[in-house]
Amino acid sequence: MKALGSQPNPPSWGLVRAGERNLDLNQAYNYPDAAGSGVTVYVVDTGIDVTHPEFEGRATWGNTACSGCASKDDNDHGTHCAGTIGGKTFGIAKKVKLVAVKVLDAQGSGSDADVIAGINWAANAAKSSGKPGVISMSLGGGKSDTLDQAVKAAIAGGVTFAVAAGNDSTQDQQADACTGSPSGVAEAIVVGATDDTDTRAYFSDTGKCLSIFAPGVNILSAKPGGGSQSMDGTSMATPHVAGVAAIVLSQNPSLTPAQVKAAIVNGATAGKVSDPGNGSPNKLLFNAVIGSASTSSTTTASSTKTTSTTTKSSTTTKSSSTTTKSTTKTTTKSTSTATPTPTDTCPWWAWWC
C-alpha cells in the first residue's frame, strides 16, 4: 500500500481527472504521497520563472541553449508547463525538482540545433546527478532525424521523455503524430490531449505513435510574475504525464525509461476517450500507477516550436486572450471558429497559422 496525499478543490480540472478512474470533476486531487520526491524534471521549453511561489524554491535555472535568448521565461509557456508538472497548487508531482532548459525564444520558436543542445545538456545533467530524471518537451516541428536521434540517445542513457503529440489536426482531418519530431520517437511517451468530457481535443494529433492521452484543454497553471493563466494544447497534456513519470520514479527510482513508459501506459484507464482518432490508443492518464519490471509499451524543418494553442491570461482567473509571435508558420488549432489570414510573423502555435 502507498500513502496518499489529497488536494481539495484543485484549481485545474486536469489534476482531478489524472487522479481518478471515472470522470467526476467534483472530487479532490488524490495522489501518491511520494509526489515526485527525489526526481528531477528538466523542462525543455521557453524557461521557467524559478521565483514563482508555486515552485517553493524547487525550481532552478539550468541552461540557456538558444542563441541570443535571455535567461528567463519571456514567453510564459515553460512556466505554465512547469506548474502543471510540479507546482504546489497546479502540479501533479508536488515534491519534484524542476530545472529550466531554455531552447525556445520569446516568440516560442527555436532551431533544431538549439533543442538538441538543450536535450544533451539535460541528459548529461541527469546522468551527473545520479538521480532519476525526466525530460518534458512540450514542443515539436517537422520530421528531423537528428532531433529524434538525440531523444533516443538520451532515453538510452536512462532519461524518461514525455513529448507532445502536436496540434495539427482540424475538425475535418486528423494529423498523424508519426510525421513530426520528436512525436514520432517510439521510445518516448507521446501525449495527446483531451477535454473535460474525456473527448479528444480536435486539434490533437493522432495515430499509432501516440502512447496516451491526458488533459489538455483549458488547463490553469502558473504564469511568470506570480499569477496564473489557462492554456490549451498537447503542450498542456504533456506535463501531466511528465509529473506522473516523476511519481512513478519516486516510488521506484531504478526503473528504466521503458519500464516507466510501460507503467504509465499499462496503468492508464482504458476505453474512456471519445473519438481517440485513427490508430490512437484509447488510454487516459492515471497517476496512481506503480512501476514494475515489465518493459512492454505500446523536424527536416529548421525550427521547433511549442505545442500550446490559445492563452487566456490573469493573475487569479482566466481573462482576455494574448498572442505570441514567431518567425515560423505552422498549423496548431484551438477552439475558436474565426479564421484570420496567416502571415509569416504569426505565432507558430496559433490556430490560424
Amino acid at 8: P
Distance CA 53, CA 301 (A): 37
DSSP 283-347: EE--TT----S-------SSEEEE----EEEESSS--SEE----SS------S----PPP-TTS-
Measuring CA to CA, how many Å separate 303 from each of 141, 161, 177, 234?
7, 20, 17, 18
Contact in structure between 111 and 304 (CB atoms under 8 Å): yes
Helical packing angle, 77-86 and 234-251, nearest 10° = 40
Measuring CA to CA, how many Å separate 309 from each of 157, 177, 187, 195?
32, 17, 26, 13
Q: Which one of 12, 109, 221, 235 is the catalytic residue?
A: 235
Contact in structure between 308 and 216 (CB atoms under 8 Å): no
Contact in structure between 303 and 141 (CB atoms under 8 Å): yes
Question: How many CA atoms within 13 Å lie on the side-chain side of 136?
Answer: 39
- Any idea which residue has 490560424 for its cell? 352
In residues, how long is the chain? 353
Distance CA 117, CA 94 (A): 28
Contact in structure between 278 and 268 (CB atoms under 8 Å): no
Catalytic-residue membership of 52: no
Q: Which one of 74, 76, 77, 228 is the catalytic residue?
A: 77
* Opening angle at CA 262, ends 260 and 268, nearest 5: 105
Catalytic-residue membership of 76: no
Question: How many CA atoms within 13 Å lie on the side-chain side of 237?
Answer: 34
Catalytic-residue membership of 195: no
As annotated, the active-site residues are 45, 77, 235
